[in-house]
Amino acid sequence: MSSRLVELKNITKSFGNVNAVNDVSMVINKAEIVGLIGDNGAGKSTLIKILSGVYSPDSGEIFIRDRKIEGRWTVAKAHEAGIETVHQDRALAVQHTIARNIFMGREITGRLGLIRVKKQYEEAERLMREIGFTSKVFTPDSVVATLSGGERQGVAIARALYFEAELLILDEPTTALSLTETQKVYNFMLAAKEKGSSVLFISHNIYHAYDIADRFVILDRGTVVMQADKSEIESAERLVQHMKDFARAGHRAPG
Ligand SMILES: Nc1ncnc2c1ncn2[C@@H]1O[C@H](COP(=O)(O)OP(=O)(O)O)[C@@H](O)[C@H]1O
Ligand SMILES: [Mg+2]
Ligand 1 pocket member 196 (CB < 6 A): no
64: number of CA atoms within 13 Å, CB side? 16
User: Using CA positions, which residue lies closest to atom 17 of ligand 1?
Assistant: 43
Question: Position 8: which residue type?
Answer: L
What pLDDT score was predicted for residue 46? Answer: 97
**Nearest-ligand number for the alpha carbon of 44:** 1
What pLDDT score was predicted for residue 175? Answer: 83
For residues 195-209, average pLDDT: 89
Ligand 1 pocket member 203 (CB < 6 A): no
**Nearest-ligand number for the alpha carbon of 88:** 2
pLDDT tens profile 85-99: 998 766 689 999 999
What's the CA-to-centroid distance between 159 and ligand 2, angstroms?
A: 21
Pick the atom of ligand 1 nearest to 171's CA: 21
pLDDT tens profile 236-250: 888 888 777 776 665
The yes-or-no verdict on residue 253 having pLDDT over 60 is no
pLDDT tens profile 126-176: 999 888 887 778 999 999 999 988 889 889 989 888 888 999 999 999 887
Share of the chain above pLDDT 70, in %: 95
What's the CA-to-centroid distance between 136 and ligand 2, angstroms?
A: 33
Which region holds residue 252: left if phi is over 0, alpha if psi is between -120 and 50, else beta?
Answer: beta
Beta strand 223-229 pairing with 4-15: unpaired
For residues 37-41, average pLDDT: 90
Residues 6+ apart with CB under 8 A from 166: 5, 30, 81, 82, 83, 196, 197, 198
Ligand 1 pocket member 46 (CB < 6 A): yes
Report the alpha-carbon distance of residue 91 to residue 38 in Å, rounded: 22
User: Using CA positions, which residue lies closest to atom 11 of ligand 1?
Assistant: 20
Structural domains for the chain: 4-97+165-251 (3.40.50.300)
The pTM of the full predicted model, rounded to 2 decimals, is 0.89
Report the alpha-carbon distance of residue 128 to residue 105 in Å, rounded: 19
In three-state secondary structure terms, 25 is: strand
What pLDDT score was predicted for residue 115? Answer: 92
Average pLDDT over all residues of the chain: 90
Pick the atom of ligand 1 nearest to 39's CA: 22
Residues 6+ apart with CB under 8 A from 95: 143, 144, 145
CB-proximal residues (5 Å) to ion ligand 2 = 45
